[in-house]
Amino acid sequence: MAHLFLVKDIAFQAGLSTATVDRVLNGRAGVRQQTEMRVKAAIAELEKQQAGAMGSGRILAIDIVMETPQRFSDAVRAAFEAEMAAFLPGVFRCRFHFAEVMKPAELVQLLDRIRLRGTHGIVLKAPDVADVAAAVARADAAGIPVVTLVTDLPNSARIAYAGADNRAAGETAAYLIGEFLGDHGGKVLVTLSSGRFRGEEEREIGFRRIIRAHYPEIGITEISEGHGTDAATGTLAAAALAADPAINAVYSIGGGNRAVLAVFEAAKRPVRVFVAHDLDADNRALLAARRIGFVLHHDLRTDARSAFRAIMSRTAASGRAVSNSLSSVEIVTPYNMPAGD
């Protein structure tokens, strides 16, 4: 397997031992096909990063760890890769660890493994639970800065949060739905991927506050723990619609929007207004087809830039406080959708 990189660099990128990578590169027996594919992917990633690297400054290798649906992780990867190629004065190399569903124990094990292997920083989207906060504390004690992405761990040792003001985003969704439904009222199906994520909880809190204060004739039904996947979210949505004929609007906090729309169609129920989050590939297509009305969008490249700056600041001056940098929330319709990268 031809390559131009050190075995240790390939091992770091692939998340494997140098011995395993050496066996793959030299075509030795006893290597699983999945392992060989990981090494090939790591080499391809290094080649792409080398081609896009700017200057000859210090390279900071960081890990992006996320529990999230693939449609969102794809958008995050694209944003970080685009910003990685343009960011100055440092040059970043990113290793991505994505899973649609991850038990807290698995996530903690991954964070500890990254800490022990070594990294210049961790960008983390994870549930706000005690075990994860403890793993962040261990990383911080080892001199590894952790930046939370799109959902915060405010009671942890993370050095900064990169993302939008989630409570304000929920309030914006309430305003859009409340004004659209008007005096006719109805009930909103609020979908969360999981109640363990603080960012989603803050969106829901903001949403409920505005509905309660300004649109008391509108009811709310919540579903959760579909993890943003179509199958699980669709099952939960179908049960909610069957139990409540008043549901006529959707605020999708956690995703699975195609499945939710399919449930309404199967039940021959109209959706008067549908507000979603994030301009991933699915939501772009649904918005362009006018199957959803609004997408609350924030620029993930801005989040990536904020994360890079926070890690560089801590690397350059250990112990210095790093301020949060909130990205703005845009209301996107079929008529002002920004071009994709």
- One DSSP character per residue, 222-281 reads EE---TT-HHHHHHHHHHHHHH-TTEEEEEESS--HHHHHHHHHHTT---SEEEEE---H
Strand partners, 148: 124, 161
Please indicate, yes or no, whether residues 175 and 264 belong to a single structural domain of this protein: yes
Domain that holds residue 38: 7-54
Which amino acid is residue 217, in one-letter code?
E
Q: pLDDT tens-digit profile of 87-145?
A: 655 578 899 999 999 999 999 999 999 999 999 999 999 999 999 999 999 999 999 99
Q: What is the pTM of this model?
A: 0.79
**pLDDT value for 78:** 93
Q: Which residue has the higher pLDDT, 7 or 337?
A: 337
- Asked whether residue 318 is domain-assigned, the answer is yes
Report the range of poorest mean pLDDT among 22-26, 54-58, 227-231: 54-58
Q: pLDDT tens-digit profile of 276-324?
A: 999 999 999 999 999 999 999 999 999 998 999 888 877 655 445 556 6
What long-range pairs does 310-314 form, CB within 8 A, spacing at least 24? 310/145, 310/147, 310/159, 310/160, 310/162, 311/60, 311/62, 311/120, 311/121, 311/123, 311/145, 311/147, 311/159, 312/60, 312/90, 314/121, 314/145, 314/159
Tally Cβ neighbours within 10 Å of residue 31: 16
Question: CA 270 to CA 75: how far, in whole Å?
Answer: 30
Q: pLDDT class for 54, splitting at 50, 70, 90?
A: very low
Please indicate, yes or no, whether residues 259 and 309 belong to a single structural domain of this protein: no
- Asked whether residue 339 is domain-assigned, the answer is no
- Asked whether residue 107 is domain-assigned, the answer is yes
- Asked whether residue 338 is domain-assigned, the answer is no
Question: CA 82 to CA 302: how far, in whole Å?
Answer: 11
CATH number for 225: 3.40.50.2300
